[in-house]
Amino acid sequence: MRVLVTGATGFLGNHVIKELFKHNVDVIASSSNLETAQNSSWYREVYTYKSLNLAHSNRLNLFNFFEQPDVIIHLAWSGLPRYKELFHYEEVLPEQYLFLKNLILNGSGNVCVSGTCLEYGLREGELDESLVPNPQNPYALAKDTLRKFLEELQKQVPFSLKWARLFYMYGAGQNPKSILAQLDKALQENAPSFNMSAGEQLRDYLAVEKVAQYLVAIALQNDVQGIINCCSGIPISVKELVENHLKKCQKQIQLNLGFYPYPDYEPMAFWGNIHKLKQIMHHESD
């Protein structure tokens, strides 16, 4: 089996490729920057690497270009984490749809795409896949629209679609602006205090290695399709997340709680329902 991973050099992409190595598959890795890929630990271990800019890809038969993969794990998306920028649906969305449509029309029948919990909108509490999406920023709107485009395409060209809604990840290689990366930087610099929000918001956090494990399991099966929450299913406060990280590192720093306001594009408390994910992982363990 050949598995194509787009966005291979990204935070999650690197971990997904490492997870795929545990399975009996040939990994086809793709990203827009060859030099970054060549510096990745997996570069010499994958079946092949293909450098490609999505904006310049539609003139190719992408299914043949990527050596006819059996499964696609599509992680590529540019411009993050600038969630409020209009280019997400003005530029990125059309590129994404035409890229995936090209692959599908030319032969790809098994597609797993990374979505986002922000598609649910400003809802509080446990988020179930059956909820009607209500995206409140351009990034979430573009992601949700891409899913709808693909569902319309399914009516004309049958293919398997798994839409893995990602929540919050942390771990090696994360965005330097993420809270734990900033905390690590403050600790390395021996800063006297760490500025953060009041930390009372509840989120669904999961180590990126576990996210990669779940995402690969989602992609390599076909019993459960459609929208699938890829998360822990357990709410934790941001303050507790920070405190747990400090305990794990055996470090101390004064937390300057309330320094930053809460972001206006997120509700105060939300986490994912994982009944679909549990079904997948139960089958995998059989």
Q: Do 163 and 47 belong to one domain?
A: yes
Per-residue pLDDT, averaged over 55-61, amounts to 85
**Statement to judge: residues 63 and 191 lie in one domain:** no
pLDDT class of 154 with cuts at 50, 70, 90: very high
Q: What pLDDT shows up at residue 74?
A: 98
The reply to whether 264 falls in a domain is no
Q: Are residues 56 and 194 in the same domain?
A: no
Is the pLDDT at 284 greater than 80, yes or no? no
Cβ atoms 115, 131 nearer than 8 A: no
Shared domain check, 184 and 197: yes
Q: Which two tokens stand for residue 260?
A: 């930053």
- Can you give the pLDDT at residue 173? 87
User: Quick one: tokens of 61?
Assistant: 């038969």
* H-type alpha helices, 50-162: 62-65, 87, 93-105, 138-156
137 and 32 within one domain: yes
Identify the pLDDT of residue 210: 97
CA distances from 127 to 123, 233, 235 (A): 8, 9, 11
User: Does residue 262 lie in a domain region?
Assistant: no
- Same domain (yes/no): 7, 52: yes
Please compute the mean of the pLDDT values over residues 139-167 and round it to a whole number: 97
265 falls within a domain: no
Domain that holds residue 246: 175-203+235-256
Whether residues 53 and 186 fall in one domain: no
DSSP letter for 135, please. -
How high does pLDDT run on average in the chain? 95
Residue 135 scores a pLDDT above 90: yes
Going from the C-alpha of 26 to that of each of 23, 45, 47, 200, 218, the distances in angstroms are: 9, 10, 5, 44, 17
pLDDT surpassing 60 at residue 31: yes
Confidence check: pLDDT of 286 > 60? no
Residues 116 and 226 in one domain: yes
Q: Residue 231 pairs with which residues in a beta bridge?
A: none
Let me know if residue 227 belongs to a domain: yes
Q: How many residues does the chain have?
A: 286
Residues 118, 185: one domain? no
CATH number reported for the structural domain that contains residue 87 in this entry: 3.40.50.720
The values of phi and psi at residue 73, to 5°, are: -110, 105
CA distances from 74 to 6, 32, 57, 251 (A): 5, 13, 15, 37
pLDDT of residue 57: 81
Model confidence at 285, pLDDT cuts 50, 70, 90, reads low
Q: Report, as an integer, the average pLDDT of 165-170.
A: 96
pLDDT in tens, 81-115: 888 999 999 999 999 999 999 999 999 999 999 99
Q: What is the mean pLDDT of residues 126-138?
A: 96
Average pLDDT over residues 51-58: 86
pLDDT in tens, 220-236: 999 999 999 999 999 99
Q: Is residue 40 part of a domain?
A: yes
Same domain, 193 and 150: no
The yes-or-no verdict on residue 129 having pLDDT over 60 is yes
| 168-223 confidence digits (pLDDT tens) | 999 988 889 899 999 999 999 999 999 999 999 999 999 999 999 999 999 999 99
Of the ranges 24-33, 61-70, 170-179, 237-246, which one carries the lowest mean pLDDT score?
170-179
Which is nearest to 29 in space by CA: 54, 7, 49? 49
> What residues have CB less than 8 Å from 56, skipping those under 6 apart?
none
| Domains: count for the chain | 2
